[in-house]
Amino acid sequence: MKRIAILNTGGTISMSEDQTTGKVSPSSTNPLSQEGNLFRSLADLTIIDFFHLPSPHVTPQHMLELKNWIEAHQADFDGVVITHGTDTLEETAYFLELTLDLDIPVIITGAMRSSNEMGSDGLANLRSAIVTAVADQSRGKGVMVVMNEEIHTATYVTKTHTTNVATFQTPTFGPNGIVSKNQVLYFQKLLHTEHYELQALTKQVALLKAYSGMTADLFDHIVDSGTYGGLVIEGLGAGNLPPAALPGLHKVLAAGLPVVMVSRAFNGITEDVYDYEGGGKQLRQAGVIFTQGLSGVKARIKLLVLLNSQTPVNIAQAFYLGAK
């Protein structure tokens, strides 16, 4: 029987609903710890309450602690399952994908409904995650998110709905597998993986969403605050900005901060197509790094890892699809 570590970090999957007020909040005891015996027939489980945090409270430092624990204990287990709140689940998943270089599967799951709500999905998702972690074909596939009987790569999965149990989707590419009863079926493979050595987080990255009428003031603050080592922009369309924002952008570039462009659109990739003031062609020529397939929050996590990594890396090349 395979040895699987379950690291509970909190979130809705570990919360309960007050039957009188309807409020959902952390309970004094983690329901998952109480129900863990339901899955003893699937694997030899070691259940650890690692954190007990709503996911908006999770920081990159918490992600680094998870990464360090998994690295230190990888020889003790055949797989790791992490339960996590859904609001920032995709960020933790991608952080671990970029910083872990393991053969054992690392699966992240959560829930959209608390443990005692009607139609609670937590235990079903946890079961699917364990089944995926145990499957031989899950080895070497990196960090994956398992929700609603679908398997998604950590690189491209995102939360698409505030409350629906089918919220986690992979726009543009779709899921790379499904869980059917006790069977795991893969029908896609992530062609490119990358990993970076990371020991500490000292540099921060800002994320700005472009909008009609955007001016330079937010860009100015990023430089003037002295807080940030890089910037990710969710640009308009395929990667464009309003003209009034350009003086601020050029100030950021002149300060030597890397600037990464993604699209604020839900689907598609960025392209430097338009050659007008604020158009993507001119932004790339000015030094903005265009990336393909990543959301704003994922690009921020990647730039954060790159800026703090001990691995020598060309940041611009690292953001191009297929770069090593």
Supply the residues annotated as catalytic: 12, 86
21 is in an annotated binding site: no
86 is in an annotated binding site: yes
Which residues are bridge partners to 184 per DSSP?
A: 179
Phi, psi angles (nearest 5°) of residue 5? -95, 130
Contact in structure between 88 and 58 (CB atoms under 8 Å)? yes
The closest alpha carbon to 122, from 270, 229, 12, 206, belongs to 12
DSSP-derived pairing of the beta strands 106-109 and 228-235: unpaired
87 is in an annotated binding site: yes
Contact in structure between 179 and 128 (CB atoms under 8 Å)? yes
Q: Is 281 helix (H, G, I), strand (E, B) or coil?
A: helix
- What lies within 8 Å, CB to CB, of 273 at 6+ separation is 238, 279, 280, 281
- What lies within 8 Å, CB to CB, of 162 at 6+ separation is none
- Sign of the four-CA dihedral 145, 297, 170, 120: positive
Known binding-site positions for substrate: 55, 86-87
Known binding-site positions: 55, 86-87
